[in-house]
Structure 1
């Protein structure tokens, strides 16, 4: 793990050193950073979104999760837990709202549904009217059991990423 600069260094977080910046191989919107694992189908998306209406942090995280399920055309989705991880560093980065869930989606034009585990962190910047959303998408449908091993490894990396995320330059949200 090393410190990864996102959005030109305006945000930093601890991330695996071998991640691939998706913008090097495809177009990525300016409001997103997309990182790919070279050895699996796991992806990380960091996205600057307009702050959603629910003021309750649990409902806000569930709203973003529901929007993702809609965008993924998920057959169904399940929220397993929503918790808050306080930021006690005193650097102005909001507390992380952590959602753990899963979705069943049809990938790669297959007829069967794949299970994708979703780990999401939402950082609410109320003064800027922004929700910064970090999503780790972890396919766990592998029949050989490797999907569960990937999930365990990636969960640890998500925890490090979301706890270490630091907003260095708040002008990103102007």
Structure 2
């Protein structure tokens, strides 16, 4: 696994463990203020951390499915399948909520091409109880792609390990971010 670092996100209001070699997408293009976006330099794997309006859901399972389905809609996915939902408890004792995680697959057409890409999606959801906020981290991992950015089985396992490190280490340092 690549060397990792504790990365400050949203000006240090949030920290998380990430590979040191990630490319900050804001160095390449405009990124909305409610997002942090990172790219892996050797594949098309991306990480997006978003501060979103809290969805009206009865439980964590419904909430993370809502965000996964919204992503599928935004991607114009032909299909979207949830494979697993697991809660990773925060055992550090700070006020960061436990992460609700989802693993799924979406089939999407990229750049109006007729062939479809298969993208594995790893998603983590932190529901901020005191504020109307859902904090969502998404790893998009192409496993079949028209370009050369798809990852093989080893790349998929590495992405899973990076995702696990990210969601387990994510710490909200300043809840004022969600004012």
Q: TM-score, normalised by structure 1?
A: 0.96
Change (3 A) 1:61 1:146: closer
Equivalent pair of 2:141/2:151 in contact (CA under 8 Å): no
**DSSP 3-state at the match of 1:102:** strand
Asked if the contact 2:43–2:151 (Cα under 8 Å) also holds between the matched residues in 1, the reply is: no
2:175 equivalent in structure 1: 170
Q: Which residue is equivalent to 2:109?
A: 106
Distance 2:58 2:170 in 1: 22
Structure 2, gaps ≥5 residues long: none
Q: How much does 1:133 deviate?
A: 0.1
SS at match of 1:128: coil
Distance in 2 (CA, whole Å) between partners of 1:102 and 1:64 is 14
Shift of 1:84: 0.4
Residue 124 in 1 paired to residue 127 in 2?
yes
Judge conservation of contact 1:5–1:11 (CA < 8 Å) in 2. yes
Aligned-residue offset at 1:88: 1.1
Greater CA drift, 3-12 or 139-148: 139-148
- TM-score for the superposition, normalised by structure 2: 0.94
Partner SS for 2:43: coil
Is residue 22–residue 41 contact of structure 2 (8 Å, CA) maintained in 1? yes
Tell me whether 1:40 sits opposite 2:13 in the alignment.
Answer: no
Q: CA deviation at 1:147?
A: 2.7
Change in Cα spacing, 1:146 to 1:53, as seen in structure 2 (3 Å) is closer
Which moves more between the two structures, 133-142 or 146-155? 146-155
